Amino acid sequence: MTTSPMIRAVDMHKRFGPVEVLKGVSLDVTKGEVIAVIGPSGSGKSTFLRCLIHLETIHRGSIEIEGESLVSTNVQGHCQYVPPADINRVCRKMGMVFQHFNLFPHLTVLQNVIEAPLTVKGVQLDQIVPKAEALLRKVGLFDKRDSYPSRLSGGQKQRVAIARALAMEPEIMLFDEPTSALDPELTGEVLATMRELAEERMTMIVVTHEMAFAREVAGRAVFMDGGVVVESRPARDLFATPEHPRTQAFLEKIL
Amino acid sequence: MDYIAAILPPLLQGSAVTLQVFLITLVLAVPLGLGLAMVRISRFKLLSGLVNGYIWLMRGTPLMLQMLFIYFALPFIPVIGVRLPDFPSAILAFVLNYSAYFAEIFRAGIQSIDRGQYEGAKVLGMSYPQTMRRIVLPQVLKRILPPMSNETITLVKDTSLIYVLAMNDLLRAARGIVQRDFTTSPFVVAAAFYLIMTLVLTYGFQRLEKKYAVYDD
């Protein structure tokens, strides 16, 4: 049986004004794969992730999610997004977790988790609350369900953000430096939650500076630099025997 | 004491006019101001520019002049010219004027909300109207309470301007008695009335601020 990959990104180009941030990034992600995207800051890792879920638009290239097109470029080089309704449908297959959490401060933890299912999917309250509570149990924050985000630690906030994304039942989870804003002693709890997700065969792309996590949890590691994918190999191999000199230099500096 | 009791009925009648202008203006100008703010921050450059000009005009000329213009000059303008009675003239001027101020308060509030809130809502599949209604505006409300409190208190006192259209608001009623009886005590009573109204407002806004204090930004 041939199935289309969960994500197929081909030749993505993205400019911010005159600065080209992505210079032809391609990546295939199969179901259940966990991909760590590493690289120096300014290499385009976050932009790549943000383009996948339409927080930024690309200028050239194509993106397909589960075989459904989000954006494509024809032979004349004309880049065309699908209609807005289709953009929404395709992007809803993905959930995203941000470096700065982006929780809704005026809502309690539980309200944060049930907000989108209620307003976007129209799920009934009595159906979503037990599900949300189960998700909060899973991330270990059931007892914080009625707290406001400002009362939580960074690690707790990020776990709520993960539960909030999962409540929309995405097929793919995107993580944009999920532990970079955390105190070192709080990264562990977030990484543990992500590891659990990976063990449940969630398809994940994780932009991260946590090399240990990338090596141990990710199936594949992608090293980006200067807006291109320099090296993309099984994580263990990439860390053990980096092939490209730039990968070697980066890993040497960071490990 | 007997004297104060005697002048109370006309002052209460004046207060009723003052309160009417205040309440009707508030109920109409707040939603209009929100609408103007939404257009002002929208990506429709032409409409945004028009609203910007409107706000400049309304904040740049005296409310009293606007009121006099609507009452005396509007009837002579071709096409849109209508002759309005005094009360609707006053309300129209107050609503147009205050909506401009409210629009700027809303705009500042909306623009103070972090971009991450929009992005967080967007990746959850929420539309722009949903994001505004459920995520942004509830947070805006908390942030704009202090300036809104200021503005509504100013509105209570600005209602005294309607005397130029010969309407009997609280201050004009007091002045009438002062001129009739050659005593200034009606002014003191009127001041007490204004203070009571603003006290109620201040208390109301404090309650709201307390209610919203359950969360921090």
pLDDT band at A2 (very low <50, low <70, confident <90, very high): low
What local confidence, expressed as pLDDT, does residue B216 receive? Answer: 82
Q: Where are the alpha helices (DSSP H) in A117-227?
A: 125-138, 154-166, 184-199, 211-217
Tell me the per-residue pLDDT of A103-144, one tens digit each, with 9 for 90 and over.
999 999 999 999 999 999 999 999 999 999 999 999 999 999
Q: Residues A163-188: what's their mean pLDDT?
A: 94
pTM: 0.91
Q: Residues A209-224: what's their mean pLDDT?
A: 93
Query: Mind listing the pLDDT tens digit of every residue in chain B (217 residues)?
Result: 788 888 989 999 999 999 999 999 999 999 999 999 999 999 999 999 999 999 999 999 999 999 999 999 988 888 888 888 999 999 999 999 999 999 999 999 999 999 999 999 999 999 999 999 999 999 999 999 999 999 999 999 999 999 999 889 999 999 999 999 999 999 999 999 999 999 999 999 999 999 999 898 7
Name which of A53, A148, A150 is nearest B123 (Cβ-Cβ): A53
HSE-CB at B215 with a 13 A cutoff on CA atoms is: 20
Q: Residues A70-99: what's their mean pLDDT?
A: 94
* B125 contacts A168? CB cut-off 8 A: yes
Q: Which residues are within 8 A (CB) of A185 and not within 5 positions of it... i.e. 6 or more apart?
A: none
Contacts of B131 in chain A (CB under 8 A): none
In this predicted structure, the answer to whether residue A1 has a pLDDT above a threshold of 70 is: no
Q: Which of these, A46, A171, A29, A54, lies nearest to A99 by C-alpha position? A: A46
Name which of A95, A98, A150 is nearest B215 (Cβ-Cβ): A150
Tell me the per-residue pLDDT of B170-191, one tens digit each, with 9 for 90 and over.
999 999 999 999 999 999 999 9
Q: Which residues are within 8 A (CB) of A231 and not within 5 positions of it... i.e. 6 or more apart?
A: A222, A223, A238, A242, A243, A244, A247
Per-chain mean pLDDT for chain B:
94
What local confidence, expressed as pLDDT, does residue B162 receive? Answer: 93
- Partnered with residue A34 across adjacent β-strands are A204
Nearest residue of A to residue B115, measured between CA atoms: A102
Q: Residues of chain A with pLDDT > 90: what percent?
A: 92
| Min distance B156 CA to chain A CA atoms (Å) | 31
* A148 contacts B214? CB cut-off 8 A: yes
What's the rounded Cα separation, in Å, for the pair A138 and A147? 17
What's the rounded Cα separation, in Å, for the pair A224 and A241? 16
Contacts of B123 in chain A (CB under 8 A): 53, 55, 91, 94-96, 165
What's the rounded Cα separation, in Å, for the pair B157 and A61? 61
Q: Which residues of A touch B (CB under 8 A)?
A: 53-55, 88, 91-92, 94-96, 98, 100-106, 115-116, 119-121, 148-150, 164-165, 168
| Cβ atoms A202, A97 nearer than 8 A | no
* A115 contacts B123? CB cut-off 8 A: no
What's the rounded Cα separation, in Å, for the pair B49 and B56? 11
In this predicted structure, the answer to whether residue A206 has a pLDDT above a threshold of 60 is: yes
* Distance (Å) of CA A182 to CA A104, A186, A189, A214, B37: 18, 6, 11, 17, 36
Alpha-carbon Rg for chain A, nearest whole angstrom, is 18
Tell me the per-residue pLDDT of A3-48, one tens digit each, with 9 for 90 and over.
679 999 999 999 999 999 999 999 999 999 999 999 998 899 999 9
Q: Which of these, B196, B193, B179, B209, lies nearest to B9 by C-alpha position? A: B193
Nearest residue of B to residue A122, measured between CA atoms: B126
* A96 contacts B217? CB cut-off 8 A: no
